[in-house]
A and B are shown apart, each in its own frame.
Chain A
Amino acid sequence: MADLSKLSIAPDQRDLRQQHQSIAPLQFRKKRMMTVDITSEFFVAASALDTGQLVKDEHFTLFEAVGALEIMDPKMDSGLLPSGESVEHDYDVLKELLPGEVIGIMDQILCFEMTWHMGHPLSQSLFTSAYIDRLLWPDPKTLEQARFERDKTPGPGNELLHLVLRAYCLGLIKTCDFVRRSIMSEQYYEEEDFVVSLYHRKLLDDFGLADISMKLEDAMAYVARKTDLMDLPFREALLNRLEFRKMLLSAVQLDGFLDHQRARLWEGCLELIPMLSQTNKLGLPSEKSFSIKIQRKLASSVPPRPIVKISFDEALARLSGICQNGRDAYRVLESHSGTHLMTFVLTYQSRKPQPLVYIRCLLQSLVFSEMRVLGTMTLKQLLYDDFEELVLPADVLVDPTNCDIEAPQDPRFQISKRMDAFATKAANAEGVDIELRVYTKEEPIREVSAPNKVMWSFPLSSWAYYYKLRQMEWTVQMGFELEVYQVDELAGMYWYLHHLASTRLQHIERIRTFSTHRLKRIAKPSFKQKTSFRRSFSFLDFATLEASAIQSFAEGLSCLFSFLAYLGLIPAPYHPLPYSTPALRYSLRVRPFLSVSLPEVPSYPEFASRVSLHTPERDAGDPSHRTPLTKIETNDQASSILDVADQALKAARKDWESISKAKAETARCVGCEDWWRTSVKNVVRACITANIMIATSKKAISNAASKDVRDILKVELVKSNELYHAWWMVPRISAK
C-alpha cells in the first residue's frame, strides 16, 4: 500500500510514535519474542506501488476492509494517547466513601447494567467502573479475592466500601453472569441485540449464588445494626438496594425450576423499584470512579469508545420492564396445548415496548428446555396433540400407545415408525400420508356423481399446509408493521393477504370435510372420541372466523387504497418508475414466497387485474398535470370499488366483534387472555375507523356534484406506531 502519509505517521506525531515504540518491545520481550524493525524495507517495498494501488488477495473482503485499522488515527488506534494523557485511570478505589457516595455508585452501575441489557457492550458500560474493574481483575481465584484491596490485608473500618458496596457489586456481577449464560443458551440476534463479549474477564462464574447472597445478607445486617453511622433515610436506601440485589439475583438464577415461585421473586423486585426511585436523590455523583480508560485494559482491538449513559429514570423504566415481563413470562406455563402456546408466544413477544433479549430468552427457556415443552411435555407429545387438534381428532395415527407395539406385522408398529419419521424430519408429508393410509385403511371420499373420483384426507400434509399459510399471512402482516411496503404497494399487499386468508379458509373447509366424514363412520363414538372431535371442530370454527375476519378486513383495505389511487390521491399501485417496471417490482416483492411451491404465487397479470392496476395514469400527486375527473367517471368506477370496500369492511367488523367476544378457551389464549383481548380490541377499533373512512368518502362523492372529488377529500397515511393496530394501516380520510 502506497502513500504512507495516509497512514498517519505524520512528522508532528513522531514523539508519540516513539512513546508508543518504547512500550511495545518491553512487552514483547516478556514473551521471549524477537522484534525486527522493518520500517525501511517497508518504505522501499511500498515505493514500488502507485498511489491508490491496492495489494489485496482474493480473501481480503469488504468485511476485512471495514475492520482494518489505521495506526495513529485517534478513532481507530487503541494504543494512541494524546500527548500528556496517562494510560492509567488514577482513581483511588480504597478511599473512604460517604453513604451518599455509595448510593450514587450503586445507582450508576445499575444504569450500566441496563445499558448492557439494551445491547451495549460491557466495555462501554459496567466495565468502565473502577470498582468493578478492581473486583474482577486480576481474575479472582476465590470469592474472598474479589475485593477492593486485592493483595493488601484488609484493614479495619471502611465497611461501607468493603462490606456494603462490595456485596452490592458482587451481587450485580453475578446477576450479569446468570443473565449472560441464560441468553447464550438460547437463540437470539447475536451482535445486534446483545453483546456477550467479556474481553477475557469472568463474571464470578465459579462462585455460587449462596455465597454471594450471604455477602448481601451480611451487608444488610451491618447497615441495619449501625444505627449511629448514618441517618435513617440513608440506611433505608442502602437496605433497599441490597435487598433488591438479593431478590433479583435469585430471580435470574439458573436452577431449571419452572414454577410460579419465580414469578413472585420478580414481583418482589417490582415492589422495591419505587423505593429505589424515591431515594436516588440521596446519591452523590461519583463521576471520577468510572472512565473509558479502563477499556484499554480489556482484551479488545478497538480504541476506547464513549460510555453509554442513560438517566436513572430510564434505567428504572427498563428494569421495571424486565421485572414485569419476567413475572409475566411464567404465565406461559398455563398454556395447555400447542395452539394456546402459539397465541401466548405471539402475543407476548409483540408487546410494546418489545421485551429485551434476556426476557425473550427467558420465555424460550420456559417454552422449551431439557427436551421438554413447558417443563412437562415432550416435543412429540406437543406435536401429536397439535395434529389431533387440527386434523386428526381421536385418530389411530396419534394414539400414544402405538409406540409400545413391537410386532412389525401390527399396522400400529408401522404407523408409529412413519409418524416418528415425519415428526423428526417434517419432510415429505405427502409421501408419508400415502404410506399411512394403507395401515389406517382410510376410506376416501367419493363423489356421488363421479364415484371414480376419490379424495384422500392427507392429514399430515394438511397440517403442514395450514401452518405454512398461517406463516405467510404473518410474514405479509409483519411487512405492514415494519413499514416495508411503500404507499403504492398497500393495495396490492392487502390483496395478497386477502388471497392468503381465503386460501386458508378453503383449506380449513377441506379439513372439516374429512373430519366430519370420519366422525360419521364411527358407529358409536366413545366419550373420549367425542371430546377430541369437539375440540377439533371448535378449533376449526374459530380458525374459520379468524381467517374470514382477516380476509374481509384485508379486502376492504385493498379496495380502499385502490379507490384512493384511482382518484390520484395516492400514487397508483406499481406505477412506472425510471429504472423499474411494475412487473419487476412485483417479482421482487414476492421473491421470498417463490421457493414455497404451494400455495403458488399469483402471476403478475393475475395480480395486476385484481389490484385495479388498470387505474388510469393521472400524474398522482401533481395537481397541475392531472386531467379532470368528471363526476360520472367518479361515480361509475370509483364508487364501485368503494362499494366493495364498504361491504368487506362491514363484514370484517362483524367478524372481529365476534372474535372479541370469544371465550379464552375457544380463542386459544389461556394464559394471555388480557393481552390478547387488548390486541383484538385494537383491531376492532381499526376496523370501525376504516368503516368511518368509507362513509366519509361516500359522502364526499355524493356531494361532489360538480366538483372534482380530489378537491374535496384529503388523505393522510398514519405511521405504524400511531395506528390502532400495526397490521391494519387505516388511512385518515377527511373532507377538506
Chain B
Amino acid sequence: MSQAALTAPTELRYVQYHSSKEKIYLSAIRQLISDDLSEPYSIYVYRYFLYQWGDLCFMALDEQDNLIGVVISKLEPHRGGPMRGYIAMLAVRQGYRGKGIATELVRKTLDVMIERDADEIALETEVTNTAAMKLYERLGFLRSKRLHRYYLNGNSAFRFMLLVKEHPAAYEYDDEAQAQLPIRPPSA
C-alpha cells in the first residue's frame, strides 16, 4: 500500500506486549509517549490499558531491543452496543518517523481487534497532526466528527472511525451524548 510501509526498516521487530514484560519496557513506553505530551499520564493510565489489553499493545524494537515505537489500545463494548476498539496511544521515536513504523504498529493492533470480533474502531487525534491523520485515512478510517477544544491546550480533535461490520442494532445507541475524557492530552 503506502510508500512508507514498503520502506520500513527490516531490522525492526514487532513484538506483542505482555504483563511479564512490564519491568523491561514500561518505563521506556512511558518515556516515549510522554515526549509528546505536555501533561504526563499517571502510571495507572498505562496499567489500565496494558493489564487489561496487553495483547493489543505492540512494540517496535531495534536489534538492541530499544523501543522505537509503540501502540496501546483497548477493546470493549461501547455503552452496551457494538464491540469497539480504541487506539489510545501511538508514538514513534523521532528520527525513525516517516518509515511506516506507526502504520505497521496500527495494522498489528487492528488485526488483533478484528480477530477478536471488533465491530468498529475509534481514536482521536489533534486536528493539526497531519502525519497521524494521513496514516489513519490511508488505512480506511473516516473523520466522524470534530471535537471542539478537546485537549487541555484548547486544541480541537477529530474522532476517526473505522467500521468493521455493518451492525444495524448498534445504530440505536447514541454516539454523541457522552463526553469522553481525552486520553491523549496535547503535545506541549
Contacts and interface: CB of A to CB of B under 8 A. Distances in A.
Interface of A: 1, 3, 6-7, 50-54, 56, 60, 62-70, 73, 75-76, 118-120, 189, 191-193, 482-486, 489, 577-580, 583-585, 587-589, 591-592, 594-595
A66 B45 contact: yes
14 contacts: A66-B41, A68-B44, A120-B154, A193-B149, A482-B146, A486-B137, A486-B143, A577-B140, A579-B141, A584-B166, A588-B162, A591-B171, A591-B175, A595-B171
A189 B165 CA distance: 33
A579 B87 CA distance: 15
Interface of B: 1, 19-20, 22-23, 26, 39-45, 47-48, 50-52, 74, 107, 110, 114, 120, 127, 137-146, 148-150, 154, 158, 161-166, 171-172, 175-176, 179, 181, 183
Contacts of A578: 1, 107, 138-140
B181 A579 contact: no
Nearest to B3: A622
Given A54-B51, A192-B148, A591-B171, A579 B139 contact: yes
A120 B154 CA distance: 9
Nearest to A488: B137
Contacts of A67: 181
A50 B19 contact: yes
Contact of A589 (B20, B74, B142, B164): B142
Contacts of A595: 171-172
B15 to A, nearest CB: 16
Given A483-B143, A585-B140, A588-B163, 6 more contacts: A1-B47, A66-B42, A484-B146, A577-B139, A579-B110, A592-B175
Counting chain B CB atoms within 10 Å of each CB, the highest count among A62, A68, A589 belongs to A62
Given A52-B22, A70-B43, A577 B163 contact: no
A652 B43 CA distance: 58
Contacts of A585: 140, 142, 163
A65 B26 contact: no
Nearest to B23: A51
A580 B140 contact: yes
B50 A193 contact: no
B156 to A, nearest CB: 9
Contacts of A70: 42-43
Contacts of A489: 142
Nearest to A69: B42
A678 to B, nearest CB: 25
Contacts of B154: 118-120
Given A52-B19, A484-B158, A192 B142 contact: no
Contacts of A53: 19, 51
Contacts of B141: 579-580
Nearest to A585: B142
Nearest to A62: B48
Contacts of B183: 62, 66
A1 B146 CA distance: 37
Contacts of A76: 40, 42
A482 B148 CA distance: 10
A587 B162 contact: no
Nearest to B21: A52
Contact of B162 (A60, A73, A118, A579): A579
Contacts of B158: 484
B26 A52 contact: yes
In the A-B complex, the 4 residue pairs with the closest CB atoms: A580-B140, A52-B22, A577-B140, A65-B48
A75 B176 CA distance: 32
A467 to B, nearest CB: 19
Nearest to A478: B146
Nearest to B88: A62
B42 A65 contact: yes
Contact of A75 (B20, B40, B48, B137): B40
Contacts of A64: 44
A175 to B, nearest CB: 23
Given A52-B50, A53-B51, A68-B45, A577 B26 contact: no
A3 B181 CA distance: 27
Contacts of A579: 110, 114, 139-141, 162, 164
A561 to B, nearest CB: 17
Nearest to A595: B171
Nearest to B111: A579
A357 to B, nearest CB: 11
A484 B143 CA distance: 6
A729 to B, nearest CB: 15
Contacts of A3: 22
A578 B164 CA distance: 11
B163 A584 contact: yes
Contacts of A65: 42, 44-45, 47-48
Contacts of A592: 175-176
A45 B173 CA distance: 42
Nearest to A481: B146
B163 A54 contact: no
Counting chain A CB atoms within 10 Å of each CB, the highest count among B110, B162, B172, B175 belongs to B162
Contacts of A7: 43
Contacts of B138: 577-578
Given A486-B142, A580-B140, A6 B161 contact: no
Contacts of B110: 579
A118 B149 CA distance: 11
Nearest to A75: B40
Contacts of B171: 591, 594-595
A69 B161 CA distance: 30
A6 B149 contact: no
A577 B138 CA distance: 7
Nearest to A189: B148
A485 B142 CA distance: 8
Nearest to A489: B142
Given A76-B42, A577-B139, A587 B47 contact: no
Given A577-B139, A580-B140, A587-B163, A66 B181 contact: yes
A482 B166 CA distance: 26
Contacts of A594: 171
Contact of A588 (B26, B43, B144): B144
B153 to A, nearest CB: 10
A570 to B, nearest CB: 13
A183 B148 CA distance: 18
Contact of B22 (A51, A118, A483): A51
A579 B112 CA distance: 13
Contact of B161 (A68, A73, A588): A588
Counting chain A CB atoms within 10 Å of each CB, the highest count among B107, B137, B176 belongs to B137
A539 B110 CA distance: 52
Contacts of B52: 54
A38 B172 CA distance: 49
A76 B52 CA distance: 24
Contacts of B144: 484, 588, 591
Contacts of A587: 163, 166
B51 A52 contact: yes
B84 to A, nearest CB: 12
A68 B162 contact: no
Contacts of B172: 595
B30 to A, nearest CB: 9
B163 to A, nearest CB: 4
A193 to B, nearest CB: 6
Nearest to B22: A52
A53 B43 CA distance: 12
Counting chain A CB atoms within 10 Å of each CB, the highest count among B1, B47, B146, B166 belongs to B47
Contacts of A189: 148-149
Nearest to B26: A52
A66 B45 CA distance: 6
Nearest to B110: A579
A193 B162 contact: no
Given A52-B26, A483-B146, A588-B142, A580 B162 contact: yes
A485 B146 CA distance: 10
